[in-house]
Amino acid sequence: MEWALLLCLLVLFVSASPAASSADAGMSISTGSGSGILDRIAWDSNMTLLGEASLKNGTISLTCDTLTTGIGAGRALYSRPVRFLDRATRAPASFATTFTFSIRPTTCSSSTSDSARHLAPFPCFGDGLAFLLTSDPRFLGAANGFLGLFSDRSAAADPATVAVEFDTNLDPLLRDIDDNHVGVDGGAIFSTAAAPARNAGVDLKRGVPMTAWVDYRAARKTLRIWLGYSRSRPPCPLLVAPVDLSALLREFMYVGFSASNGRGAALHLVGNWSFRTFGFSSSSRSAPPPPSSPADGKDSSTGSDESLNPGDEISPPPPCLPRWGPVIGGIAGVLFLIAASTTVTLWCRFRWNLDCGDCNCGGDDGASSTRSRKHSSVNGEPRMKVPTRISLDEVMSATTEFHDSNILGHGASATVYQGVLPSGSNVVVRLLSPLPPQPSSSSTTAQDTCSRSSGDASTTYFSCS
């Protein structure tokens, strides 16, 4: 019982400890219309919109649905910078993000001449959209295949950028593999790794909501991407890219989305979004934020523009909730104690049944039965049962009619004989009176019976009168 109580206390201690160690300190942001953590931030707070990006029916539209002479690209960034390098070791952080998006095409005509107006219109698409990390919150790249990520001028110095693109435009000059693929861009528009979206059973141009999962593990230098129509992550990733982002990441960077239109136009919409970093040491928490510099765009943030350090949460914080760790730990401890006690009890009963065999082990009767069984043997040998009263004929037969060869000794009032009963037990008989006349027949009266007086494991003693 003592060890069970110690284990219970151990469970309580573990449940009361913090959910994550300081080595896993990080930050997380979420946005959307769901419940719980997804209510911490809405699209209309703490987001910076650049170019054609705008709010549309509770989601962010990164582009317009018509071909215009404008920029043709849009970007939505979380307004506060996020730490991506450990302050002490300069090691990069790991990160994970999940978001829903859709690409809705517009209607284009195959010709604008009067002779071709009878031709049926067909859907046309933009370039696609991308999830990105950038060091410059004011930069917006080019359209026409560049997804608003990079400049279309080769001499331009682009900010440090890491992106995962969902490309719907086939541009051989940009080394696209097809018009329905997912790629990883590190510092340039040319993807370092790419995979067709059809490998995941997804058509990016279908116009329906899709969900993407992006997970980067700095220790393994591996970026994994999942894609699907369901909100449940597929078992196998669409793309696994071995990539080291340490050279591209800065101490603080901005996270968000970018999209552009080109030969065609489409609405690039982003819905629910969650993002977190992890793998930092606790020393990164005390790092000062970089100087704040508001972006040149439509800033929808309502709070301060200070940075997010590891462990920070988006304001406004959720309402204070009771700490359920000790409660859950206590319940788990009690359940464990009950289970342990039940197990010990069942084991003891099992062992008791093995010891008792087929005997009736219940209460005092069971104990008496067990004691009787133990006492019914001597030195491990079972004792033969001997009747307490035997007839004179049986005594005569055992002692060969009190033959002199069976005499063990003489006393003042009796002669002692030895013999063997029909059961095989040795018997010692003390004859108290002179041998009576030979009986003509067996009798079981009190005058011709012998009573048992004492005995041990191998010999029984009787007195005869």
Q: Give CA–CA dist 99/231, Å, rounded.
A: 9
In DSSP notation, 348-391 reads HHHHHHHHHTTS---HHHHHHHHHHHHHTEETTEEPPP--SEEE
What average pLDDT does the structure give for the chain?
Answer: 74
Q: What does the pLDDT read at residue 57?
A: 82
N-term to C-term CA, the chain: 63
Q: What does the pLDDT read at residue 58?
A: 81
Asked if residue 16 has pLDDT above 60, the reply is: no
- pLDDT level of residue 443 (50, 70, 90 thresholds): very low
Note the pLDDT tens digit of each residue in 204-263: 999 999 999 999 999 999 999 999 999 899 999 999 999 999 899 999 999 999 999 988
Residue 196, Cβ neighbours under 10 Å: how many? 15
Q: What does the pLDDT read at residue 71?
A: 76
Helix (H, G, I), strand (E, B) or coil at 315: coil
Asked if residue 364 has pLDDT above 70, the reply is: no
| Greater model confidence, 142 or 424 | 142
Note the pLDDT tens digit of each residue in 193-206: 999 999 999 999 99
Mean pLDDT within 39-53: 75
Give the tokens for residue 348: 């003891």
Note the pLDDT tens digit of each residue in 311-337: 443 333 344 444 566 778 788 888 988
| pTM (global) more than 0.75 | no
* Domains, in order of start, for the chain: 2-110+119-327 (2.60.120.200), 386-464 (3.30.200)
| Segment (H or E) for 324 | helix 324-356
Contact 310, 84 (CB under 8 A): no
Q: What does the pLDDT read at residue 83?
A: 92
CB burial string 279-305: b at 16+ within 10 A, e below: bbbeebbebeeeeeeebebebbbeeeb
* Percent of the residues in the chain that have a pLDDT greater than 70, as a whole number: 61
Helix (H, G, I), strand (E, B) or coil at 202: coil
